[in-house]
Amino acid sequence: MTSASSRREDSPAAADRSADHVTVLMVDDHPVVLRGLREICASDPGLVVVGEASVEEEALRATNDLRPDVVVLPIRLGGTRGGIELCRSIKSLGISRVVVFTSFTRTVDAQVALLAGADAVVSKSASVDVVLQALREAGAGRSTFYLGSASAPHLEASALLPFEPLTEREQEILELVLEGLTNTAISERLVIELSTVKTHMRSVLRKLGVGTRRDLL
- Tell me the H-state helices in the chain: 12-15, 31-42, 56-66, 82-93, 107-115, 128-139, 168-178, 183-190, 194-208
Query: Residues 41-47: what's their mean pLDDT?
Result: 95
Listed in order, the ranges of the chain carrying CATH 1.10.10.10 are 168-216
Listed in order, the ranges of the chain carrying CATH 3.40.50.2300 are 4-159
- Backbone φ, ψ for residue 143 (5° rounding): -100, 135
Q: What is the reported pTM?
A: 0.73
User: For residue 178, is pLDDT > 90?
Assistant: no
Residue 9 has what DSSP assignment? T
CA distance 55 to 34: 13
Give percent of the chain with pLDDT exceeding 70: 83
Tens-digit pLDDT profile for residues 75-89:
888 777 788 889 989
CATH of domain 4-159: 3.40.50.2300
DSSP conformation letters of 63-104: HHHH--SEEEE-S-BTTBBHHHHHHHHHHHHTS-EEEEEES-
First to last CA, the chain: 29
Most confidently modeled range among 14-18, 91-95, 172-176: 91-95
Strand 22-27, strand 70-73: pairing: parallel
According to DSSP, the residues that pair with 155 across neighbouring strands are 145
Task: Give 74 or 176, the one with higher predicted confidence.
Answer: 74
pLDDT tier at 6, thresholds 50, 70, 90: very low
**What is the architecture of the domain spanning 168-216?**
Orthogonal Bundle (1.10)
